[in-house]
């Protein structure tokens, strides 16, 4: 028995997606073939995925399909076979990317601190293990190392720059995905840097680059604060002289940037975004990543 509350959410989600599809989303998945208007529509595919991912927290497509077939088949009488549903879903990778951008751009909470940002990255693993070789989505994935989990893996990195919210999880401002081996500092310079002005940014030690950020502080009026990184070859007496200050400063930075780690943990808990072991193609991997981001930030 499905509650009226969830039924109302399904209807609201369908109406929202249907309206946005006619305005914008249809241009991201146009078809130029005899099957340009399938009986089972793209709006239905998007609704099923997002509803099952967000409200039922089902991370596997097979579980989504079976749930709709068992409980909502009368609502989706044209539901195709699982293989066809999966194929149609993977075709919408560009649509999920556009929809995630739309949600993050148009529904920014009012309590965001636009003068303070947090930056970090997390791995999305297609397979893991030092001697494993990834054979899926090789155009956008490669081998990397996750120091937090102390493991080698094959897959992507999700880089996120978010507005700080006092006492709450940060809200994403910009997101980028790269192969696993990409250095976080290089991604920040290439994808985020030119859009940032007049703010303070908190990151971990990998974003430490004193000379570069001193120049950006002058040209863009922003500063990057990271935990203090030990200077190789520095005399022990100098380290001990500054130890108390450095420890307090590093603790302050780590405390302020901790919510972005909590945000990643929340996304993983809600969507299992980090586990992409079942993915078998580039489109499927992109659908997995942007579908999870869309679902977790989708609010009616």
Q: Tell me, rounded to whole angstroms, the distance of Cα 271 from its chain centroid.
A: 10
Please give the pLDDT value at position 296. Answer: 94
Q: At what angle do helices 93-106 and 282-296 cross, to 10 degrees?
A: 30
Q: What percentage of the chain carries pLDDT values higher than 70?
A: 95
Helix (H) or strand (E) holding 119: strand 113-128
Find the mean pLDDT for residues 144-152.
88
- What tokens were used for 165? 């919210």
Q: Is there a contact between 158 and 112 (Cβ–Cβ < 8 Å)?
A: no
- Cα 143 from Cα 155, distance rounded (Å): 7
Q: For residues 178 and 157, is the Cβ–Cβ distance under 8 A?
A: yes
Q: Residue 300 above 70 pLDDT?
A: no
Asked if residue 101 has pLDDT above 90, the reply is: yes
- Position 33 confidence tier, pLDDT thresholds 50, 70, 90: confident
Predicted confidence (pLDDT) per residue in 158-198, tens digit: 999 999 999 999 999 999 999 999 999 999 999 998 889 99
Count of CB atoms within 10 A of residue 2's CB? 10
Look-up of token digits 């100098």: 238
Question: Residue 153: which of 64, 255, 277 has the closest Cα?
Answer: 277
Least Cα distance to 278 among 100, 92, 125 occurs for: 125
pLDDT higher at 229 or 212 = 212
Confidence of residue 238 (pLDDT cuts 50, 70, 90): low
What average pLDDT does the structure give for the chain? 90
Q: What is the pLDDT of residue 115?
A: 95
Backbone angles phi and psi of 9, in degrees to 5:
-65, -40
Is the separation of the CB atoms in 198 and 216 below 8 Å? no
Query: Which pLDDT does position 1 carry in this prediction?
Result: 56
Record the pTM.
Answer: 0.91
Model confidence band, residue 234 (pLDDT cutoffs 50, 70, 90) = low
Q: How far apart are CA 270 and CA 52, in angstroms?
A: 11
């Amino acid at each position: 028995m499905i509650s009226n509350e969830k039924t109302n959410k399904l209807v609201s989600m369908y109406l929202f997606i249907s309206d946005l599809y006619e305005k914008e989303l249809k241009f991201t998945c146009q078809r130029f073939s005899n099957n340009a208007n399938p009986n089972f529509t793209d709006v239905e595919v998007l609704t099923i995925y997002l509803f099952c991912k967000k409200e039922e927290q089902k991370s596997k497509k097979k579980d989504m399909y079976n749930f709709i077939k068992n409980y909502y088949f009368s609502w989706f009488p044209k539901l195709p076979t699982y293989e066809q549903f999966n194929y149609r879903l993977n075709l919408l990778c560009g649509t999920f990317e556009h929809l995630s951008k739309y949600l993050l751009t148009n529904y920014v909470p009012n309590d965001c601190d636009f003068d303070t940002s947090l930056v970090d990255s997390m791995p999305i693993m297609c397979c893991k293990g030092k001697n494993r070789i990834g054979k899926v989505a090789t155009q956008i994935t490669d081998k990397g190392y996750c120091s937090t989990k102390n493991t080698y893996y094959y897959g992507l990195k999700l880089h996120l720059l978010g507005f700080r919210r006092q006492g709450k999880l940060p809200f994403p401002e910009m997101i980028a995905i790269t192969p696993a081996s990409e250095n976080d500092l290089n991604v920040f310079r290439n994808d985020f840097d030119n859009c940032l002005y007049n703010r303070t940014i908190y990151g971990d030690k990998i974003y430490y680059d004193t000379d570069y950020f001193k120049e950006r502080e002058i040209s863009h009026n922003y500063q990057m604060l990271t935990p203090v990184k030990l200077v190789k070859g520095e005399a022990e007496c100098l380290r001990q002289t500054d130890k108390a200050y450095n420890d307090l400063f590093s603790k302050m930075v780590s405390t302020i940037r901790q919510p972005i780690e909590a945000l990643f943990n929340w996304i993983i808990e809600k969507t299992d975004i980090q586990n992409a072991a079942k993915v078998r193609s580039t489109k499927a991997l992109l659908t997995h990543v942007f579908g999870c981001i869309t679902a977790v930030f989708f609010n009616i």
